[in-house]
Amino acid sequence: MNSQRLMALLVAIIISAPLLLPDGQGIGLVNAILIWSIFVIGFDLVFGVAGMLSFGHAAFFGVGAYTLSLLTMRMGWEFIPSLGAAGVVGGALALVFSYFAIRVSGLFFALLTLALSQLIYIMAGTKLRMLTGGVDGIAGVPRPDLFGIDFYDDGNYYFFLLALFILALLISGLIRISPLGQALKAIKSNEVRAEQIGFNVQRLRRSVFTISGVFAGVSGGLLASLIFYVGPQMLHWTTSGDVVIMVLLGGMGTLFGPILGVAIFEFMREWLSTQTSHWYGILGLIFIICTIGMPKGIAGLITQLWDRIMPGGKS
């Protein structure tokens, strides 16, 4: 056992909580964790692996949510093809963003993605009101209708989300250890050298940005169906900010760390918001303390503790 496996075990315990706890307690929370995890698993490919800080992912997430809602509610599409379309549209928008933003890096990249996603947010709330329902959003987003199972029951929907979560985890895990993932790590480590040994840096960045857009689009569609609603708030840049916090809190660049970040973030959101209306400020404070105290997030802390308990037992 190593710290990686310990984190995997922690994740497994968290996501199987509804099965372990009596009466399926915490099912709503875990469903939200599964959906946001799909988002951060994709986001960390861009942020943690390739080293690009994007504040534009809310756009792909929100556009995915609208796509699923519109296709199922107005066009009469089935849920699964609509979810696929949510991913495709999220990825396509990410590809479009990348043509503008990939030219620059670092802070400029973060700001450009932020500006582009805010543009989508404003458009959804105003110009595209006919389509998006404006600031009111669209209520009544459906859930899947498969094999005669009632997915409007949260306990059943849990298994649907769990399957997609595991699929997302496998895909992301494979990308990380594939030549593509290694090339992205190389770009993060030393862009000049990566380019000089023959990597097409721009194209690689564009591809991972698009892939993470697909993850965001799918998770956006899933969240809309979980809460039966989509509104422009999902497109707001604070959604991107939340995801950055989740990944940093959990440990960027690790497969399981960001999921632990999601779990803590969502737990805080759920629990703190019942205690005080200033929950977001308190969450921010906790985040600041965490980044100072454990810059590598929970993943870093676990690895550190593990090395202390099991000195020398690296593998």
Partner 1 sequence: MNSTAEAKHVLRCEDIEVSYGAFKAVTNVTYKFKPGLLYGLIGPNGAGKTTLMNALSGRARISKGRVFLNDQEITKQSPHARTWAGLGRSFQITQIFAEMTVFENLRLAAQAHRFRLQPFWRPVGKFKEIANDAEKVLSEIGLESFGHVNAGSLSHGDQRALEIGLALLSEPKVLLLDEPLAGVGHDVGEKAVELIRRVSQGRTVLLIEHNMDVVMEISDEIIVMLAGEILASGNAETIKQDPRVRTAYLGEDE
Contact pick of 110, 183, 230, 290 for partner 1 (by CB under 8 A):
183
204 sits near partner 1 (criterion: CB under 8 A): yes
Q: In angstroms, rounded to a whole number, what is the distance separating the alpha carbons of residues 130 and 85? A: 20
307 sits near partner 1 (criterion: CB under 8 A): no
Question: Considering only 19-27, 88-96, 144-152, 173-181, which stretch makes contact with partner 1 by CB under 8 A?
Answer: 173-181
Q: Contact at 8 Å (CB) between 193 and 27?
A: no
Q: Residues in contact with partner 1, total (CB under 8 A)?
A: 24
**DSSP at 26:** T
Contact pick of 77, 199, 228, 267 for partner 1 (by CB under 8 A):
199
Contact pick of 25, 126, 190, 304 for partner 1 (by CB under 8 A):
190
In this complex, which beta carbon is closest to partner 1, that of residue 161 or of residue 194? 194
Cα torsion through 180, 183, 185, 189, rounded to 10: -170
195 sits near partner 1 (criterion: CB under 8 A): yes
Contact pick of 135, 146, 177, 288 for partner 1 (by CB under 8 A):
177
Q: In angstroms, rounded to a whole number, what is the distance separating the alpha carbons of residues 284 and 269? A: 11
Q: In angstroms, rounded to a whole number, what is the distance separating the alpha carbons of residues 32 and 25? A: 13
Q: What does each C-alpha distance from 211 to 42, 88, 93, 207, 266 come to in angstroms? A: 7, 9, 11, 6, 24
Residue carrying the six token digits 């043509």: 99
In this complex, which beta carbon is closest to partner 1, that of residue 194 or of residue 235? 194
Structure token pair of residue 83:
């979810």
Contact pick of 32, 49, 186, 230 for partner 1 (by CB under 8 A):
186
In this complex, which beta carbon is closest to partner 1, that of residue 130 or of residue 192? 192
Interacting residues with partner 1 (CB under 8 A)? 174-175, 177-183, 185-186, 189-190, 192-201, 204
